[in-house]
Amino acid sequence: MQIPEATVLQLLFSEKEWEYRRQRAVKKHRPQSRMEQRPGQYERIIMRIALRIALAASAALLTLGVAQAQEKTLKIGTEGAYPPFNNLTSDGQLVGFDIDIAKALCDQMKVKCTFVAQDWDGIIPALQAGKFDAIVASMSITPERAEKVDFTHKYYNTPPAIVAPKDSDIKGVTKEDLAGKTIGVQAATTHFNYSSKIYTDSTVKPYPTAQEYQLDLANGRLDAANDDIVVLQQWLDSPDGACCKLIGAIKPVVEIHGPGAGIAVRKGETDLVNQFNAAIDAIRANGKYKEINDKYFKFDVYGGDS
């Protein structure tokens, strides 16, 4: 498309500046008397210069826009108190399976990731308030939560379990096995919901973090605890969990536990959900997921193809 000379000149120069440049062009070409007899010659000279300036400026702006797009940053919220999935180290670093998966997903999506540690009971309100863009914190996909946030499909699914002191007389994980017992569970989790619904003959005691119920169980203030089997087994394998033993795994109830852990984003952010889903599928296919999985676990925590 041809750009009118007057339009280019009006955009690039004020009236006074235009007149100044025109006069300079006249003086510069004064010896070539024939040019003075060609109307618009000087305007065309300056227009060519102006167009070169405009093209250079457009290229610079385009380069800047591409660079800014490449530097897009996603803020990821996580708890930092749920090892081996997410944990805050003594020097303030967030580590764990959730963290490594989130980094791999961001690399796949070609965006920069930063992480924000957030207490579990306030993590969804913080997402809704814009403190971060997504939650990668072993959050189970449930209908209740799906009323407040949008979820990706799962990125792992492991069963819950029961642990108890080594000298406990608890034999199994049924309602009858735990009747009369006090069970520690992290509050606002699917494990708490399950315990409250199923273990109605027991006292279900909520805790802000897994680490707090673990401490009470080790110190004899609880009879048992309910949580993800991976979290419990890692604790049992540590010096802090030497007090206790695994009683058994609980068969998940989809209506309570959901299909697995997913990434939560604000309601209506469908494009971001789709980007995460595509990235999850990609790292499952290209081997990156297995690399991270094998760093933490001896089995595939994805839990099947569903």
Task: Provide the residue-wise pLDDT of the chain in tens; the chain has 306 residues.
Answer: 554 555 544 544 555 555 655 566 555 555 554 444 555 565 666 566 656 665 655 555 555 444 444 568 999 999 999 999 999 999 999 999 999 999 999 999 999 999 999 999 999 999 999 999 999 999 999 999 999 999 999 999 999 999 999 999 999 999 999 999 999 999 999 999 999 999 999 999 999 999 999 999 999 999 999 999 999 999 999 999 999 999 999 999 999 999 999 999 999 999 999 999 999 999 999 999 999 999 999 889 998 765
Residue 238: alpha-carbon gap to chain centroid: 29
Is there a single domain that holds both residue 144 and residue 266?
A: yes
Is residue 157 within 8 Å of residue 260, measured between CB atoms?
A: yes
Is residue 225 within 8 Å of residue 178, measured between CB atoms?
A: no
pLDDT value of position 35: 46
d(CA 264, CA 151): 5
How many CB atoms are closer than 10 A to CB 144? 10
Is residue 47 within 8 Å of residue 88, measured between CB atoms?
A: no
d(CA 65, CA 76): 24
Q: Express the helix, strand and coil content of the chain in percent, nearest 5 each.
A: 45, 20, 35
| Residue 76, helix vs strand vs coil | strand
User: Has residue 306 been placed in a domain?
Assistant: no
Query: Number of C-alpha atoms within 13 angstroms, CB side, residue 296?
Result: 23
User: Has residue 305 been placed in a domain?
Assistant: no
Is there a single domain that holds both residue 229 and residue 281?
A: no
| Residue length of the chain | 306
d(CA 191, CA 219): 21
User: Has residue 242 been placed in a domain?
Assistant: yes
User: Has residue 122 been placed in a domain?
Assistant: yes
Is there a single domain that holds both residue 77 and residue 195?
A: no
Is there a single domain that holds both residue 166 and residue 253?
A: yes
Is there a single domain that holds both residue 143 and residue 263?
A: yes
User: Has residue 303 been placed in a domain?
Assistant: no
Predicted TM-score (pTM) of this structure: 0.75
pLDDT value of position 17: 59
How many CB atoms are closer than 10 A to CB 214? 26
Is there a single domain that holds both residue 175 and residue 224?
A: yes
CA-closest candidate to residue 164, choices 113, 116, 235, 103: 235
pLDDT value of position 14: 55
Question: Which residue carries 């530097």 as its tokens?
Answer: 71
**Of 70, 87, 116, which closes a domain?**
70
User: Has residue 224 been placed in a domain?
Assistant: yes
CA-closest candidate to residue 102, choices 69, 130, 76: 76
Q: In sequence order, what E strands does the chain have?
A: 73-78, 81-82, 86-88, 94-95, 112-117, 134-140, 149-151, 160-165, 182-186, 203-207, 224-228, 244-249, 261-266
Is there a single domain that holds both residue 195 and residue 47?
A: no
Is there a single domain that holds both residue 89 and residue 206?
A: no
Is there a single domain that holds both residue 199 and residue 116?
A: no
d(CA 257, CA 155): 14
The total number of structural domains that make up the chain: 3
pLDDT value of position 181: 98
Output the CA angle 262-203-237, nearest 5 degrees. Answer: 55
Across-strand partners of 298?
none
Residue ranges making up the domain that contains 141: 73-157+259-296
The domain spanning residue 148 has which CATH number? 3.40.190.10
User: Has residue 301 been placed in a domain?
Assistant: no
pLDDT value of position 47: 62
Amino acid letter at 141?
I
**Of 36, 55, 70, which closes a domain?**
70
Is residue 182 within 8 Å of residue 222, measured between CB atoms?
A: yes
**Of 17, 42, 70, which closes a domain?**
70
pLDDT value of position 42: 55
Is there a single domain that holds both residue 182 and residue 217?
A: yes
User: Has residue 86 been placed in a domain?
Assistant: yes
Is there a single domain that holds both residue 291 and residue 147?
A: yes
d(CA 95, CA 195): 29
Is there a single domain that holds both residue 246 and residue 119?
A: no
